[in-house]
Amino acid sequence: MKAHTKETQANLTPRAALDILKEGNGRFIKNLKAQRDLLGQANDTRDGQWPFAIILSCIDSRTSAELIFDQGLGDIFSVRIAGNIVNTDILGSMEFACKVAGSKLIVVLGHTKCGAVKGACDHVEMGNLTELLSKIQPAVYSESETTNTEKRNSKNGKFVENVAAINVKRSVKNIIERSFIIEQMVENGEIGVVGAMYNIETGKVEFYKDVAFIKDEQNPAFSVDELRH
């Protein structure tokens, strides 16, 4: 399998980019790999790169996006930070990936049993980690299913996974709301933004339909104004 070129990237739609990732994850969970000459891909991309997607994921050692989606060199931009949170630097990186480098899809990829989410659930404060975890706190407070205050901590696995899902969905909306460039590209159908959750036990990625912002023939009426309500 060859690395993406300017032409192959340009011919992809956001929906097609999503399908590539779904197919790659399908191979991953079946313990299959596409045939790639990685050294050849390194050589092919020596003068330029044309990734079709940018994926924001956690630093967790088990969540490498390239492996989870069975992608090669030059295929995706990978942004990793504890708790897959969004900040200004990450937004700038996404704007570069999409507006300058031509990527068609932004994915916020959370994962089960996330240590950063557990830390936020327990209101951990430790050095610079305190500020990072504070960005996950809104998801903790938004979780309404767990009403018993004694169970709103990392010992409650269900609570942790609920918070992780909310955190992903908040991040997706924050990306569009905080970046005018990304907002306009989504509105024009140039790119899509989606949220997903990786199960570290099964290897499967679940894409959230309620935070899949792709304007195309399958969803022609979508407007980012929907996020304002």
- Residues 6-112+173-215: name the CATH superfamily: Carbonic anhydrase (3.40.1050.10)
Q: What is the pTM of this model?
A: 0.92
pLDDT digits (tens, 9 = 90+) for 96-122: 999 999 999 999 999 999 999 999 999
In Å, how far are 67, 170, 219 from 189, measured between CA atoms? 28, 21, 10
Query: How many residues are there in the chain?
Result: 229
The Cα diameter of the chain in Å comes to 57
166 vs 163: CA distance, rounded Å = 5
CA triplet 54, 59, 63: central angle to 5 degrees? 70
What local confidence, expressed as pLDDT, does residue 221 receive?
A: 60
Tokens of 219: 């969803």
Beta-carbon count within 10 A of 6 CB = 11
Return the domain boundaries, the chain: 6-112+173-215
Q: What percent of the chain has pLDDT over 70?
A: 93
206 vs 214: CA distance, rounded Å = 16
What local confidence, expressed as pLDDT, does residue 151 receive?
A: 97
DSSP string, the chain: -PPP-HHHHHT--HHHHHHHHHHHHHHHHTT------HHHHHHHTTT----SEEEEE---TT--HHHHTT--TTTEEEEE-GGG---HHHHHHHHIIIIIT---EEEEEEETT-HHHHHHHTT---TTHHHHHHTTHHHHHH--S---GGG-STT-HHHHHHHHHHHHHHHHHHHHHH-HHHHHHHHTTS-EEEEEEE-TTT--EEEEEEEEE--STTSTT--GGGGG-
- In this prediction, residues 162-186 reach a mean pLDDT of 97
pLDDT classification of 84: cutoffs 50, 70, 90? very high
What local confidence, expressed as pLDDT, does residue 43 receive?
A: 72
What local confidence, expressed as pLDDT, does residue 216 receive?
A: 79
pLDDT classification of 3: cutoffs 50, 70, 90? confident
CA triplet 188, 193, 195: central angle to 5 degrees? 160
